[in-house]
Structure 1
Amino acid sequence: MDTATHLVMGITLGGLATLDPAIAQSNMGTQAVMLATIVGSNIPDVDTVLKLRNNAKYIRNHRGITHSIPAVLLWTLLVSWFSHLIFPSSPYGHLLLWSFIAVFLHVFVDIFNAYGTQALRPFTKKWVALGVINTFDAVIFSIHALGVVLIAIGANKGYTALFAYAVTILYYIGRIVMRQNVHSVVKKKFANVEQVIISPTYRFYHYHLAIVTDKFFYVARFHRGNILTHDKFERIPLPDNPVMHAALKDQNISAFLSFSPVYRWDLFEFDDHYEVRFIDLRYRSKDYYPFVAIVQLDKHLQVVSSYTGWIFSEEKLRKKLQLVPN
């Protein structure tokens, strides 16, 4: 989920907490829990600062350990401690509870989009991405933004927030049912399906699809019960050769592979260098696949340059990295 939605959901969660009698009985308790739910609803995304280092660190770690089970407990303790420090007369036990709900809710809603989280760490580093909700969902944001506005102009905090969350739950149920419908249609249309990666859009009846069968990758879209196939790629195993072995050791390539579940690859040989590319098939945009990893190696298999991240044209990629021209 995006930062703006986490923020408004944190505010409405603070409003919901006022239905707790221990919180509602004092102004300081209400202020403390509002601080806790806002901070708790956003603190797992502190790993966004990794983008200041490089894309490889960000891709490998964003929504990773900061969204894990131990992190949820740690954030809960830190948020509740900080809020109680600012508002010492607030009931700490109830503050602890609402801090936990805020942090847990952040991680929980994140698993419903296509990016997902490593929410089950330390038991597994598998990315949990259910593909139910778009990273930014205008409906969810609007529900809670309206709730924030109503609270700000004097509506009852608790019941306004309760209504907002009730509508949100119903919306999630509708989206889950829709996702199951998409999955069912895919299984009927394609043979020997091994995996279906569903990426929701802002439109309720429109989904991007990356379909893995025993022999092919399909990139498609679902719209109102119909599937349109954009591209079809043969599944070819990675070659067992020195060039690919060297490429896989590069931090940008390894970060990409740790995150991307479905991709195609290319290996090119030129007069003075090799180039290896990996292209994520989940994120097709206007006939282009913008999420890539690329490495260039000299003839001694030393890395000349590499990159992973979002790029929307060949020209920008080479200009940004000053890659060896082909």
Structure 2
Amino acid sequence: MDTATHVVMGIAVGSIATLDPVVANDPTLAQTVMLGALIGSQAPDFDTVLKLKDNAKYIRNHRGVTHSIPAVILWPILITAAISLFVPGINLLHLWLWTFLAVILHVFVDIFNAYGTQALSPFKKKWIALGVIYIFDPFIFFSHVAAIIIWQMGAHQGFTFLTLYFILIFYYVWRFYARNNVYKKALEEHPDATHVFISPSFKWRRWHVVIRTPEMMYVAQAFGEKINYFESYPFEPIPNKPIINAAMQDENLAAFLSFSPSYRWEVVRVGDHHEVRFIDLRYRSKGHYPFVAIVKLDDEYNILSSYTGWIYSEETLKKKLEFATE
């Protein structure tokens, strides 16, 4: 989820903690639990600093180690220890428990996005991405904002947010139901499909769909249970060719391939060099596929520059590749 949603979820956890008699009877502990929940709700995303280094490191590692099982165990311990240095004598067990819940909730809700997490690492490196909730879901965010307002107007802090979370359980169930209907419809129209990739969009009833069969890949959009097709491409596995093999050594392309399950590739001649392009088909927007990996090579297939990330124009891509060469 986005940062703002994780913040309001931290407030929710700190509020529900007031139903804990130990927390409710200790104002200082209640304040530190709210602080721990707020920090815990953000801690797994501290790896966002990797973006300052380069996109390849960010794409390959974001929601990886920091969302893993060891990290989920370690974050609450570190946060509790840090807070206890400034607030001695507080109940460490209850501070740790509620901070632990905030960290778990962060990782748990991230699983429902199309991006997903490596939540089972180090036991399984596979990305878990259920693809039922958009990265910023207006209903989830604004329902939390509404709960905060209701609480500030005098409603019971703990029960207000507990009620909200019961509502959100039904909301998640409904989203699964809607996604599964799209999946069933895709299989009805393409019974030979080997993969159906479904990603949520900002609008509730609209879904991004990529259908892969043994011969073709179809890019579509589902509205409700109706699937509208945009483009189709021959399904071509990555070939064993010298120029492709050379490009595959690039870390930007490697990061892209570790993340993207549905893409097409092409090799084009641009001026005095070659470009190996991989385009993620899941994020079609206004006729454009913005998430790409590009490797620029000379005639001897030496890598000149590369880039992976979000690009919305050829001019921007050209500048990125030129900058990477410098």
TM-score normalised per structure 2:
0.96
Amino acid aligned to 1:147: A
Residue 252 (1) aligns with residue 252 (2): yes
- Does residue 198 of the first structure (1) align with residue 198 of the second (2)? yes
Asked if structure 2 preserves the Cα contact closer than 8 Å seen for 1:29 and 1:87, the reply is no
In structure 2, relative to structure 1, the CA distance for the partners of 1:271 and 1:226 (3 Å cut) is closer
- Partner in structure 2 of residue 311 of structure 1: 311
What CA deviation, in whole Å up to 9, does each residue of 1:122-174 have, x standing for no partner? 01211111011000000000111112223334321111111121111111111
Aligned to 2:278: 278
Q: Which moved more, 1:107-116 or 1:159-168?
A: 159-168
Q: Once structures 1 and 2 are overlaid, which stretch shifts more, 189-198 or 282-291?
A: 189-198
- How far 1:271 sits from its partner (Å)? 6.7
Q: Tell me the secondary structure at the aligned position of residue 309 of structure 1.
A: strand
CA distance in 2, matches of 1:41, 1:212: 37
Task: Determine the structure 2 residue equivalent to 1:31.
Answer: 31
Query: Is the 1:84–1:95 Cα contact (8 Å) retained in structure 2?
Result: no
What is the aligned partner in structure 1 of residue 174 from structure 2?
Answer: 174
- Deviations along 1:78-130, one digit per CA (max 9) or x if unpaired, are 12222333332322111111111110100000010111111111012111110
> Distance in 2 between the 1:271 and 1:277 partners?
15
Counterpart CA distance in 2 for 1:274 and 1:201 is: 34
**Rounded Cα–Cα distance in structure 2 between residues aligned with 1:96 and 1:263:** 43
Larger CA deviation: 195-204 vs 144-153: 144-153
The CA RMSD measured in Å over matched residues stands at: 1.5
**Distance across 2 between alignment mates of 1:207 and 1:296:** 33
**Shift in Å, 1:270:** 5.6
Tell me how far apart the structure 2 counterparts of residues 255 and 55 of structure 1 sit (CA, whole Å): 9
Matches within 5 A, 1:1-326: 1-269=1-269, 272-322=272-322
Change (3 A) 1:224 1:271: closer
8 Å Cα contact 1:33/1:83 also seen in 2: no
In structure 2, the CA distance between the partners of 1:102 and 1:131, relative to structure 1 (3 Å rule), is same
1:8 corresponds to which letter in structure 2? V
- Residue 322 of structure 1: CA displacement? 2.1
Q: Is the 8 A contact 2:307 2:320 kept in 1?
A: no
Q: Which runs of 5+ in 1 are unaligned?
A: none
Q: Report the secondary structure of 2:266's partner residue.
A: strand
- Greater mean alpha carbon deviation, residues 285-294 or residues 217-226: 217-226
Paired amino acid for 1:157: Q
- Verify the 8 A CA contact 1:114 1:130 in the aligned structure 2: yes
Structure 2: which 5+ residue stretches go unaligned? Answer: none
SS at match of 1:59: helix
Could you tell me how far apart the structure 2 residues matched to 1:34 and 1:234 are?
Answer: 53
Question: Which amino acid counterpart does residue 230 of structure 1 have in structure 2?
Answer: F
**Equivalent position amino acid for 2:252 in 1:** N
SS where residue 70 of structure 2 aligns? Answer: helix
Supply the distance in 2 between the matched residues of 1:305 and 1:14 (Cα, whole angstroms): 47
- Does the residue aligned with 1:193 lie in a helix, a strand or coil? coil
Q: Aligned partners of 1:204 and 1:154: how far apart in 2?
A: 32
Q: Measure the CA separation in 2 of the matches of 1:270 and 1:114.
A: 33
Question: Is contact 1:118-1:125 (8 Å) kept?
Answer: yes
- Sequence identity percentage: 52
1:318 is paired with a residue of what secondary structure?
helix
Which amino acid in the other structure matches residue 295 of structure 1?
Answer: V
Paired residue secondary structure (2:194): strand
Asked if the contact 1:277–1:293 (Cα under 8 Å) also holds between the matched residues in 2, the reply is: yes
Q: Is this contact kept in 2: 1:40–1:99, CA < 8 A? A: yes
Please give the secondary structure, in 2, of the residue aligned with 1:93. Answer: helix
> What TM-score comes out, normalization by structure 1 length?
0.96
Shift in CA distance, 42/270, structure 1 to aligned 2, threshold 3 Å: closer
Shift of 1:323: 7.6
- Give me the whole-angstrom Cα distance separating, in 1, the residues matched to 2:199 and 2:13: 27
